[in-house]
Structure 1
Amino acid sequence: MSSTYKSQLISIIRKSSSTFAGIGAAFLMFLFLASIIEILLGAYNHNITSGVEELIYYSLLEDAKFFLSLVFPAYLLYVLLSIPVTRLAFGLLKLIIVIFFIFQFILLFYFNTTLVLLGSDLFGYSADEIVQTVGSSGSIGFLPVLVLTLFIGVLILTINYFSKKIQWPLWFALMIPSISLSFILNGGESKFNSPRLSNEFESNLIKNKSSSFFASSYSYFNPDRFEIDIYADNYAKDYGNDGFRKATYVDESKFPFLRLDSESDVLSPFFRSDERLPNFVFIIVEGLGRAFTNEGAILGNFTPFLDSLSQKSLYWKNGLSTSGRTFSVLPSVLGSLPFSENGFNEISPSVPNHLSMLNLLKSKGYTNSFYYGGNAEFDGMANFLQKNGVKYIMDEDTFPRGYKKIPSNNGFSWGYGDKELLRYYLENSAKLDNGSPRIDVILTVSTHDPFIIGEKEKYRKLFRQRLKDQKVDESKYLDYEKQYSSVLYADDAIKNMISEYEKREDFENTIFIITGDHRIPEIPMVSKIDRYHVPIIIYSPMLKRTEEFSAISSHFDVAPSLLNYLENNYNLQLPKMNSFVGQGLDTTKLFRNINMIPLKQTKTALIDFVMGEYHLNDDQLFRLDANMVETPIEDPDKKEEILNAFNQWQRKNSEIGNGKKIIPDSIYKEYTSN
Structure 2
Amino acid sequence: MLQTLFKSRYSLLLNFIVGFILLSFSLRTTFYFLCLTKIDISLLSFIKIFSLGSLYDLSVALGITLIYNIYLLILPDKWVKTKVNSIITKAWLFITLLITLLSFFAEITFWQEFESRFNFIAVDYLIYTYEVVNNINESYPLPILLGSIIILIILIYYFFKSKKVFLYTYKKGLNFGKRIAVSGTLLTFTITLFFFLRNSDADISSNRYENEITKAGIFSFFSAFKNNELNFNDFYYKIPTEKAFNIIRKELNEENTTFYPKKNSIKRAIKNGTNSNKPNIIMITVESLSADFLKHFGNKQQLTPMLDSLADCGLLFTNMYATGTRTVRGMEALSLSIPPTPGSSIVRRSNNKNLTTIGSIFQKAGYSTAFFYGGDGYFDNMNEYFGGNGFDIIDRGRSVTIGDSYKTKRTIIEDKNVSFENAWGICDEDLYNVVIKNADDAYSQKKHFYDFVMTTSNHRPYTFPINKIKAPTGTREAAIQYTDYALGKFIEKAKTKNWYKNTIIIIVADHCASSAGKNEIEVSKYHIPCIILNIPEYQKKTINKLCSQIDLYPTLFSLIGWSYESNLYGKNIFDKNFTPRAYLGTYQKLAYLENDSLVVLGPQQKVETYLYNSKTNQQIPYQVSRILIEKSVASYQTAYNLFKNGGLNL
Judge same fold: TM > 0.5, yes or no.
yes
Query: Helix, strand or coil for the counterpart of 1:459?
Result: coil
- 1:157-203 CA-partner distances (Å, limit 9, x unpaired): 55674867899xx9xx99x9899999999989877767676x86x97
Residues 611 and 375 of structure 1: is their aligned pair in 2 closer, same or farther, counting only changes over 3 Å?
A: same
Amino acid corresponding to residue 557 of structure 1 in structure 2: D
The residue aligned with 2:420 is 406
The residue aligned with 1:610 is 592
Give the 5 Å matches for 1:279-294: 279-294=280-295
Residues 184 and 419 of structure 1: is their aligned pair in 2 closer, same or farther, counting only changes over 3 Å?
A: closer
* C-alpha separation in 2, matches of 1:226 and 1:104: 32
- The answer on 1:422 being equivalent to 2:395 is no
How far apart are 1:36 and its partner, in Å?
A: 3.5
- 1:99-158 CA-partner distances (Å, limit 9, x unpaired): 76146325325415633643344555784x233233223367123223332344444555
- The answer on 1:368 being equivalent to 2:401 is no
* C-alpha separation in 1, matches of 2:462 and 2:11: 47
- The answer on 1:208 being equivalent to 2:216 is yes
Alignment match of 1:507 (pick from 493, 500, 504): 500
* C-alpha separation in 1, matches of 2:637 and 2:126: 26
How far apart are 1:262 and its partner, in Å?
A: 6.2
TM-score (norm 2): 0.73
The residue aligned with 2:348 is 346
How far apart are 1:623 and its partner, in Å?
A: 4.4
Residues 142 and 225 of structure 1: is their aligned pair in 2 closer, same or farther, counting only changes over 3 Å?
A: farther
Q: Work out whether residues 226 and 651 of structure 1, in 8 Å CA contact, stay in contact via their aligned partners in 2.
A: no
The residue aligned with 1:227 is 235
Residues 142 and 209 of structure 1: is their aligned pair in 2 closer, same or farther, counting only changes over 3 Å?
A: same
* C-alpha separation in 2, matches of 1:642 and 1:95: 56
How far apart are 1:491 and its partner, in Å?
A: 0.8
Aligned-CA RMSD value: 5.1
Alignment match of 1:533 (pick from 527, 531, 540): 527
The residue aligned with 2:130 is 131
Give the 5 Å matches for 1:28-67: 28-33=18-23, 36=26, 49=37, 63-67=53-57
- The answer on 1:487 being equivalent to 2:480 is yes
Alignment match of 2:510 (pick from 514, 517, 528): 517
* C-alpha separation in 1, matches of 2:339 and 2:215: 31
- The answer on 1:631 being equivalent to 2:618 is yes
Amino acid corresponding to residue 444 of structure 1 in structure 2: T
Q: Work out whether residues 316 and 541 of structure 2, in 8 Å CA contact, stay in contact via their aligned partners in 1.
A: yes
* C-alpha separation in 1, matches of 2:470 and 2:609: 37
Alignment match of 1:458 (pick from 469, 487, 494): 469
Q: Work out whether residues 516 and 534 of structure 1, in 8 Å CA contact, stay in contact via their aligned partners in 2.
A: yes
* C-alpha separation in 1, matches of 2:2 and 2:23: 31
* C-alpha separation in 2, matches of 1:617 and 1:155: 46
Residues 544 and 432 of structure 1: is their aligned pair in 2 closer, same or farther, counting only changes over 3 Å?
A: closer
- Runs (5+) with no aligned partner, structure 2: 170-177, 398-410
How far apart are 1:457 and its partner, in Å?
A: 7.5
Amino acid corresponding to residue 442 of structure 2 in structure 1: L
The residue aligned with 2:107 is 108
How far apart are 1:359 and its partner, in Å?
A: 2.5
Q: Work out whether residues 107 and 210 of structure 1, in 8 Å CA contact, stay in contact via their aligned partners in 2.
A: no
- 1:497-547 CA-partner distances (Å, limit 9, x unpaired): 2233233344333322111111224x9657633443211222225134543
Residues 157 and 627 of structure 1: is their aligned pair in 2 closer, same or farther, counting only changes over 3 Å?
A: same
Amino acid corresponding to residue 535 of structure 1 in structure 2: P
Q: Work out whether residues 623 and 630 of structure 1, in 8 Å CA contact, stay in contact via their aligned partners in 2.
A: no
- Runs (5+) with no aligned partner, structure 1: 1-10, 462-479, 669-674
The residue aligned with 1:552 is 546
- The answer on 1:379 being equivalent to 2:380 is yes
Amino acid corresponding to residue 104 of structure 1 in structure 2: S
* C-alpha separation in 2, matches of 1:82 and 1:395: 50
- The answer on 1:144 being equivalent to 2:145 is yes
* C-alpha separation in 2, matches of 1:227 and 1:550: 35
Question: How many residues get paired?
Answer: 595
Query: Helix, strand or coil for the counterpart of 1:354?
Result: coil
The residue aligned with 2:648 is 662
How far apart are 1:488 and its partner, in Å?
A: 0.8
TM-score (norm 1): 0.71
Residues 459 and 74 of structure 1: is their aligned pair in 2 closer, same or farther, counting only changes over 3 Å?
A: closer
Q: Work out whether residues 291 and 298 of structure 1, in 8 Å CA contact, stay in contact via their aligned partners in 2.
A: yes
Amino acid corresponding to residue 372 of structure 2 in structure 1: Y
* C-alpha separation in 2, matches of 1:80 and 1:400: 53
The residue aligned with 1:468 is none
Amino acid corresponding to residue 22 of structure 2 in structure 1: F
How far apart are 1:597 and its partner, in Å?
A: 1.9
Residues 551 and 157 of structure 1: is their aligned pair in 2 closer, same or farther, counting only changes over 3 Å?
A: farther
Query: Helix, strand or coil for the counterpart of 1:442?
Result: strand
Q: Work out whether residues 251 and 258 of structure 1, in 8 Å CA contact, stay in contact via their aligned partners in 2.
A: no
- 1:355-394 CA-partner distances (Å, limit 9, x unpaired): 2332322332323333332223332333333334334636
Amino acid corresponding to residue 420 of structure 2 in structure 1: I
How far apart are 1:653 and its partner, in Å?
A: 4.8
How far apart are 1:565 and its partner, in Å?
A: 3.8
* C-alpha separation in 2, matches of 1:421 and 1:189: 41
How far apart are 1:287 and its partner, in Å?
A: 1.0
Q: Work out whether residues 519 and 530 of structure 1, in 8 Å CA contact, stay in contact via their aligned partners in 2.
A: no
Residues 30 and 520 of structure 1: is their aligned pair in 2 closer, same or farther, counting only changes over 3 Å?
A: same
How far apart are 1:658 and its partner, in Å?
A: 4.8
Alignment match of 1:579 (pick from 550, 567, 578): 567
Residues 552 and 262 of structure 1: is their aligned pair in 2 closer, same or farther, counting only changes over 3 Å?
A: farther
**Percent identity over the alignment?**
15
Residues 565 and 126 of structure 1: is their aligned pair in 2 closer, same or farther, counting only changes over 3 Å?
A: farther
Alignment match of 1:542 (pick from 536, 541, 546): 536
Q: Work out whether residues 372 and 442 of structure 1, in 8 Å CA contact, stay in contact via their aligned partners in 2.
A: yes
Q: Work out whether residues 275 and 563 of structure 2, in 8 Å CA contact, stay in contact via their aligned partners in 1.
A: no
- 1:408-464 CA-partner distances (Å, limit 9, x unpaired): 4xxxx3332112222332344223313343322222111112111112673317xxx
Q: Work out whether residues 612 and 620 of structure 2, in 8 Å CA contact, stay in contact via their aligned partners in 1.
A: no
Query: Helix, strand or coil for the counterpart of 1:311?
Result: helix
* C-alpha separation in 1, matches of 2:69 and 2:497: 77
Q: Work out whether residues 554 and 597 of structure 1, in 8 Å CA contact, stay in contact via their aligned partners in 2.
A: yes
Amino acid corresponding to residue 375 of structure 1 in structure 2: D
- 1:601-653 CA-partner distances (Å, limit 9, x unpaired): 4xxx2423224231527579574646475324434x55998887666655555
Amino acid corresponding to residue 224 of structure 2 in structure 1: S
How far apart are 1:352 and its partner, in Å?
A: 3.3
Residues 531 and 460 of structure 1: is their aligned pair in 2 closer, same or farther, counting only changes over 3 Å?
A: same
Query: Helix, strand or coil for the counterpart of 1:543?
Result: helix
How far apart are 1:487 and its partner, in Å?
A: 0.5
Q: Work out whether residues 373 and 418 of structure 1, in 8 Å CA contact, stay in contact via their aligned partners in 2.
A: yes
Amino acid corresponding to residue 107 of structure 1 in structure 2: A
Q: Which moved more, 1:432-441 or 1:333-342?
A: 333-342
Amino acid corresponding to residue 507 of structure 1 in structure 2: Y
The residue aligned with 2:267 is 259
Q: Work out whether residues 72 and 181 of structure 1, in 8 Å CA contact, stay in contact via their aligned partners in 2.
A: no
Alignment match of 1:496 (pick from 468, 477, 489): 489
- 1:454-489 CA-partner distances (Å, limit 9, x unpaired): 12673317xxxxxxxxxxxxxxxxxx9621111011
